[in-house]
Amino acid sequence: MKRRALLSVSDKEGIVTLAKELVALGYEVLSTGGTYREIEKNGIAVTKVSDVTQFPEIMDGRVKTLHPAIHGGILARREKGHMAEAEKHGIGLIDIVAVNLYPFESTIARADCTYDLAIENIDIGGPTMVRSAAKNHQYVNILVNPAQYGPLIDALKKDGETSLEFRKQLALEAFSHTAQYDALISGYLSRMAGLDMPEHYFLVGQKIADLRYGENPHQKAAFYAEKKAGLANAKQYGGKELSFNNLMDLEAAVNMVQEFTKPACMIIKHMNPCGAALGENLLEAYNKAYACDPVSAFGSIVSFNGKLEKDTAEQVVKTFVEAVVAPAYSEEAIDILKTKKNLRIMEMDMSILDKEVDVKKVAGGFLVQEKDRELLKDDIEWVTEKQADEVVEDDLLFAWKMVKHIKSNAIVLVKNLATIGIGPGQTNRVGAAKIALEQACEAAEGSVLASDAFFPFRDTVDTAADYGVVAVIQPGGSIRDEESIVACNERGLAMAFTGMRHFKH
């Protein structure tokens, strides 16, 4: 019996070569629609699926391969009972299936995508063939990626057939492919239905790279892309391979810097900032951020929210930095950064970051929450006799944006749109304040303080006043708020409540 292959793909890459090679190996090639036309116009012998089914493609191509003559040929076991049934019903066997699916992901990513267009790009016949072939992998090869074509042809040329282990791997990739496809559709329909927290939530990723190790050398790790955006789509110009810890710090660095439209720089260690600033340009922002804590800046991750130019690159390379990330670089800046051969130079589009949800793994499941939202100037409520002027208010808003990204309990001191003291991850609030104030030392005079949660006692206000802090921003909501307000009035501080907490675990 002549061997047959069914080719029906949306992505035509490599399909003509595959068809040509299969015909040369003695296969009859079956195909549909655009794939049939692509193969035929290249002078390769090909049979229409409708000639096999004796039934035309109908309903604008929605029904082409959904037929016993096709699925019987794919699903038949090569044993006496199934072979007899196939012969009885005139069903020819299909040994190879090459299918990739309608481009649903790229369709819904289009700015002009309508609901009807999205629905029309949900593939039905394709996934059905993929699943049929993958289920019957004991006998059938299923190809869902052009990268698989070459290895298949190599195996057929060498041995005349593929091994069961080879087909098992193809089946695994096929079911992963359809699972990802269905998850995309489910996610889209959930969003269209306005479901923030749907009954079923799917996380599906495609491996980008095996990492050398995880947070520590004894831990295995890999990087998976959920979508073609963010770090998963970043371009690396030079330096060593990214590590697990690099990626975690880059994520934190980008999340912080993209909060701002004014030129901004963040210097990150262990997912916490050791310096952050705004400036008239990126060079000024970097110098101000670096000045916050030059010691901790050694071995850090540095992020920028604008195009990095030569002058800023020259400053960055004066200290050891693990990685730099920005939305763009000048050629001169890249050349300068490349003089540090191990420096990872990352270019990333920060305009399309996922702002919808935050996902965290816990034992037995995962937690999903909305991303922590930003504070608007109009949301501030002044609760003290004294109110801040515009300059101090700008510092307060900057400090409030920064404290959102720091491990709780967190305190941030800011002056002239730059952090001067950061107290992260403490188990009591006044302890976090003391760390930030002691780091700032004399520079704390005239600064502002942001706290990610309310003050349970007035001690944080008193400690801040001792160092010369002039204004405070915090959520409010403590049963002892009045004590903190009285402390501010006694010590001449302005204090604003936001009504919004910024815990970060």
Residues 364, 366: Cα–Cα separation, whole Å: 7
Under a CB-based contact definition with an 8 Å cutoff, are residues 18 and 149 in contact? yes
Under a CB-based contact definition with an 8 Å cutoff, are residues 396 and 498 in contact? no
Among 316, 310, 286, 281, smallest CA distance to 298 is for: 316
Under a CB-based contact definition with an 8 Å cutoff, are residues 298 and 320 in contact? yes
Residues 265, 225: Cα–Cα separation, whole Å: 26
Angle subtended at Cα 427 by Cα 422 and Cα 409, rounded to the nearest 5 degrees: 45
The distance from CA 131 to its chain's CA centroid, rounded to whole angstroms, is 28
Mind telling me the catalytic residues? 135, 270
Distances (CA, A) of 14 to 7, 11, 56, 106: 11, 9, 27, 20
Residues 154, 358: Cα–Cα separation, whole Å: 44
Length of the chain: 505
Phi, psi of 170 (to 5 degrees): -60, -40
Residue 113: what residue type?
C
Per-residue tokens: 237: 């110009």
Per-residue tokens: 309: 């130019």
Residue 333: what residue type?
A
Among 409, 429, 407, 438, smallest CA distance to 505 is for: 407
Instruction: Name the β-bridge partners of 6.
Output: 30, 97
Distances (CA, A) of 13 to 35, 46, 77, 99, 143: 11, 17, 31, 12, 13
Enumerate residues 6+ apart whose C-beta is below 8 A from 473.
380, 396, 397, 399, 400, 448, 449, 450, 451, 495, 496, 498
CA dihedral sign of residues 32, 33, 34, 38:
positive
Residues 98, 11: Cα–Cα separation, whole Å: 11
Under a CB-based contact definition with an 8 Å cutoff, are residues 264 and 257 in contact? yes
Phi, psi of 480 (to 5 degrees): -110, 25
Q: Which helix (H) or strand (E) holds 485?
A: helix 481-491
